Structure 1
Amino acid sequence: MLTPAQSRAAEKRDRILEAAREQFLIHGLRATSMEAIARAAGVAKPTLYAYFPDKDAIFLAIVTQVLDAKAAAFAQGLAGSEPVDIRVGAALAAEFAVITGVIGSSPHAAEFFDAHRASAELLAKADAAATEQLVRALDEAGVADAARLARVLLDACFGLAQKNAGRDTLGSDIRLLAQRLIAPELAARQR
């Protein structure tokens, strides 16, 4: 259990990260200053620097939060007893819902994830973990070339997310895609 001081510190850290994320999405990573983040978070600059040594550290903390939420949503969607096409669709829809929920329709969305080498490494690890889970689920369901189908699904979902950034149909589109690609594989296995 956290002490009152630890609780206040955690709350302040979360407020800083939320303010920074908003500033990054409104103004872009490069155009956002530590001063702007401190002002948006309602803290003094020395306080901000006590929590984060620089803007890169703030950025990586935000990316880590997003990736953790994305991984949890994916795992939760993949769990269950439904057929694999339904579970995979739910997992992918949940994962992309986290991403679109965070970045919305920001003109700086690509910069948010592509601007930093360390974030690219974190994203690659997160994507590899999700791919591994997806391949395992497809393989356990008897899909013949599970790795290839997982890659096609993930690539198609990425394309849907780019095209549907402002639409409410992304989740249902991803679930439809998963069903249409996986169900025939399952049916062929049962023949």
Structure 2
Amino acid sequence: MDDHPETFLSPVKRARRAKIVAAARDLFVERGFRATTMEAVAATVGMSKVTVYGYFPDKDAVFLAVARAVAEEIEAAFDAALDTDGTVPDRVAAALVAKHALVARTVRDSIHAAELFAAKDRTAGAVFAALDARLEAAIATTLDRPGALDTARLLFAATQGIANAVEDDGTRDTDIGRLVHAVLA
């Protein structure tokens, strides 16, 4: 089974599929996983339910496509921040802040966050595990020193803890910066 079926779609069908995924993303955040239906997705995009089912066999498949799109956004934001000018601690902190800020804007700030994270674990856990491994490897490559992967894993886990514990974006970002600079000093 192809991990990215959109690869084989015509440009028109790829655009329709992207429209479905974008609408579903908004609905999942606004309504939660359980309350988002294929009918609601179809109505939001102005397509028939049959058309939406032509692209996705069920709601789990739509959610997986949304998760993949979010993972790609996270990776792009992370990489862009890591590739900026500045010291290694500044760049690593900026990349981790970018990741956690995007997750907050996309899911964590939703009143349905717990339900969405549970659906993510059930349907797209492997997508985000692979993403996390790629981001940790990118940090390790940037650190370029003995034990870099272990340090990257530590930073990754610790900043996840900060993101889970702190509700204020400014505090989250400041705490992540402090942690990264303390570990990499």
Q: 1:18 aligns with which of 11, 15, 22?
A: 22
In 2, Cα distance between equivalents of 1:38 and 1:97 = 30
* Paired-residue identity, %: 37
Structure 1 position 128 matched with structure 2 position 133: yes
Unaligned runs of 5+ in 2: 1-9
Q: Partner residue of 1:71?
A: 75
In 2, Cα distance between equivalents of 1:111 and 1:123 = 16
1:79-98: CA deviation from partner (whole Å, max 9, x where unpaired): 24422111111111111122
In 2, Cα distance between equivalents of 1:137 and 1:156 = 18
Shift of 1:104: 4.5
Amino acid at match of 1:123: F
Q: 1:110 aligns with which of 107, 114, 138?
A: 114
Q: Which protein has the larger Cα radius of gyration, Structure 1 or Structure 2? A: 1
Counterparts of 1:1-191 in structure 2, within 5 Å, are 8-115=12-119, 116-138=121-143, 140=144, 142=145, 144-183=146-185
Contact 1:104 1:166 in 2 (8 A): no
In 2, Cα distance between equivalents of 1:171 and 1:28 = 26
In 2, Cα distance between equivalents of 1:113 and 1:58 = 15
RMSD: 2.3
Amino acid at match of 2:178: L
In 1, Cα distance between equivalents of 2:35 and 2:140 = 40
Superposed structure 1 runs of 4+ greater than 4 Å apart:
none
Q: Partner residue of 1:187?
A: none
In 2, Cα distance between equivalents of 1:45 and 1:75 = 37
In 1, Cα distance between equivalents of 2:162 and 2:97 = 11
1:100-153: CA deviation from partner (whole Å, max 9, x where unpaired): 221151132233233254400111111111111212222x1x3x5323322221
The 1:12–1:95 alpha-carbon spacing in structure 2 relative to 1, beyond 3 Å, is same
Q: TM-score, structure 2 length as denominator? A: 0.82
1:46-76: CA deviation from partner (whole Å, max 9, x where unpaired): 1211222211111111110111111111122
Contact 2:89 2:184 in 1 (8 A): yes
Amino acid at match of 1:13: R
Shift of 1:166: 4.8
Contact 2:28 2:36 in 1 (8 A): yes
